[in-house]
A and B are shown apart, each in its own frame.
Chain A
């Protein structure tokens, strides 16, 4: 079972790593309200791609969880599941739950 705080830590680390790769400084603070995509976003579109992959890979390495965060459902949702750190964390937890249910068949 992956706890929400662990997911938030992964997203925070992935965000710092992504910004670093783009030669950008980290934000003064990263909270659940930190905006990732859309107006006032911290990341550009390519940065979002990198962030999502970083988060997926960290979940895999640290928690042995294999998920695809950019699912059909996520990409067609009216409100982006990637818009803030907190919303993304909830999306990650939901996706892990769905994957566990799929694995149980």
Chain B
């Protein structure tokens, strides 16, 4: 029997993270998810932990526990993020700092500690979520977009730092999906973004699964340091 592959997904309580966690658990992967609170849902093959990804010690202990339990980590999907849509002139420093802590430092911490486990097997796949609002320079999302641009750069450099251990690192920016994260965005603004796309539709959870499947496919072991945006954005 083949060894069971272990997938870490951050921000798995709801939205895209929950969908990916449920999808991979259903396919037989051992899925380890986290969020700042209880998941509020259960599934076979799924284990949840209450972890703030910006908390270095909490991340260390979470990944240490997973390493002891499974002795391996095959895939990391860094989905956890926070977004506050504000005009830059109305953005407090504390809001900006917290966004960078979660979106950038949090992503880095999970990559760092998971990569240490992946190195043992000389294999691993890291997928870091970014956003199309960075390349389209969407007004009202300056700090969120800046933090996600940082994630793209982080990922590109991680690809070079971790490639020698067979670990690929890529980032992925979906088109807008109607999750809690954008529920506060006016419909007219969402429509305006969709109208800038080559394929004029909202994103779906299945779009995200499709891209993750591509990055973790056995044949994708030479796909690294890339950023993949949907909807014609580049």
Contact = CB atoms under 8 A, between A and B. Distances in A.
Interface of B: 56-57, 60-61, 64, 67-68, 116-117, 119-120
B68 A60 contact: yes
Interface residues of A, number: 10
B60 A53 contact: no
A68 B56 contact: yes
Interface of A: 50, 53, 56-57, 60, 64, 66-68, 102
A66 B116 contact: no
A66 B61 contact: yes
B60 A68 contact: yes
Contact of B64 (A50, A53, A60, A102): A60
A66 B60 contact: yes
Contacts of B120: 57
Nearest to B61: A66
A57 B116 contact: yes
Contacts of A66: 60-61, 64
B68 A53 contact: no
Nearest to A49: B161
Contacts of A56: 116
A67 B116 CA distance: 12
